[in-house]
Amino acid sequence: MTNIPLYGTTHPTQTDAAREQAPKRSLLELTQEELADYVKSLGQPAYRARQIWDWIYKRYAADFASMTNLPAALRTRLEAEATVSPLTPIAEVVSADGNTQKVLFQLPDGQSIEAVLMLYERRRTLCISSQAGCGMGCTFCATAQGGLARNLTAGEIVAQVLYFARYLATPHAPPAMEVERPTHVTNIVLMGMGEPMHNYKNVWTALRRLTDPEAFGLGARHITLSTVGLIPMIDRMAEEGLQIGLAVSLHAPNDEIRSQLVPINRRYPVAELLAAVQRYIEKTHRRVTFEYALMRGINDAPELALELAQKLKPLLCHVNVIPLNPIPDSPYQPTSDAETRRFVQILNENGVPATVRLRRGIEINAGCGQLRRAMAA
């Protein structure tokens, strides 16, 4: 994998006690073949592996005790030496309108990550994390302020989806939200903590598990991966053959502003990034989304909207204009509703499709990294 410079500080927090304790085997890290080998090592027939696999990925079992078609002795042994999920929820908040739920999870080594469930009229969308922290250093992002601790494993990425799939499938499970259950996950966006392209191997292992009909089985077109613009990885993604959506966090139409907001732009400037997106479109024939978080007095001027339109018009794309979820005491604050509408109007009038993303969960720190930051304060 191409070496990517990190912006920010790495802060490992694993304790001596955690290192000394023998970790349980996480079954979410295993392929079907590896799970079969593990079950065989326990002296069990091959079909037991298929039963366990179905309990995890089709029935969203939270523990081995619920796997009632397994022998009691096997369930006891699995409970002693393995785990279904590496995540422990440590904080949970629901928005006042009941449409957004955010959960802060602790990982086995003490690190923490966030994931968000957002309810729309027909969609049940998850925003999941790919890293504990982030090394890209975007100046307006709460996650970036803590630096990068480590990459998530493929199993830790998948576990976030299974947690909420279990919640949606279980009638009356707390917390209460404005959703009639049972229902199911319809969409996934990798727009939570971390830069997915900086954890490429584990992210794509997780994506193949999530789209595999034999596993979670969500259609690839219902998943979107967001990147700040790691060009080598965009080119690599174009060769994957899986119809995962690509979103690029642009936030400015030129290098002067973007380099201040997104430091990786100094290595991969706007012109080169847009050329990579064009290559991606030519290879995949898929529309790309550009994310543009509007910040008052920084990137929201009408002339910047016009400049953005001129640069994006040749591309098969859509602009997702995002009202910023502000960090307290930050110089980056959201643009007014009127200025937001004007920005979008300029894009549309100049041939670039653009819409405003519905802001969700502002009062519950639903922006990337905000709940984690608040809990650490």
26 labelled binding-site residue: no
Tell me whether the omega of the peptide bond preceding residue 175 falls within 30 degrees of 0, making it cis.
yes
Is 114 tagged catalytic?
yes
Residue 367, classified by CB atoms within 10 Å of its CB into exposed (0-12), middle (13-18) or buried (19+), is: buried
- Of 186, 214, 188, nearest in space to 203 by CA: 188
Dist CA 153 CA 165 (whole Å): 19
134 annotated as a binding-site residue: yes
Does 195 show up as a binding residue in the annotation?
Answer: yes
Least Cα distance to 78 among 126, 122, 30, 26 occurs for 26
Q: Which of 114, 156, 291, 317 is catalytic?
A: 114
Q: Where are the alpha helices (DSSP H) in 252-301?
A: 255-261, 270-284
Known binding residue 162? Answer is no
- Buried b vs exposed e over 345-355: b needs ≥16 C-beta within 10 Å? ebbeeeebebe
**Cα–chain center distance at 77:** 33
For residue 251, say whether it is annotated as part of any ligand binding site.
yes
Q: Which residues pair with 105 in a beta bridge?
A: 89, 113
What is the identity of the amino acid at 269?
P
Quickly count: other Cβ atoms within 10 Å of residue 122's Cβ.
7
Determine the 3-state secondary structure of 101 from DSSP: strand
Kindly list the distances between the CA atom of residue 126 and the CA atoms of 11, 180, 220, in Å, as whole numbers in the listed order.
27, 17, 14
Q: How far apart are CA 223 and CA 201, in angstroms?
A: 17
The answer on whether 249 is annotated among ligand-binding residues is yes
Q: Is residue 250 marked as binding? A: yes
Residue 194 assigned ligand-binding role: yes
- The three-class DSSP label of residue 11 is coil
∠167-168-174 over CA atoms, to 5°?
A: 45
From the list 127, 156, 291, 368, the catalytic residue is 368
Tokens of 181: 């259950």
| Token digits of residue 226 | 């967001």
What residues are designated binding site? 134, 138, 141, 194-195, 226, 249-251, 325
Residue positions in the annotated binding site for S-adenosyl-L-methionine?
194-195, 226, 249-251, 325
Residues marked as catalytic: 114, 368
Summarize the annotated binding site for [4Fe-4S] cluster as residue ranges. 134, 138, 141
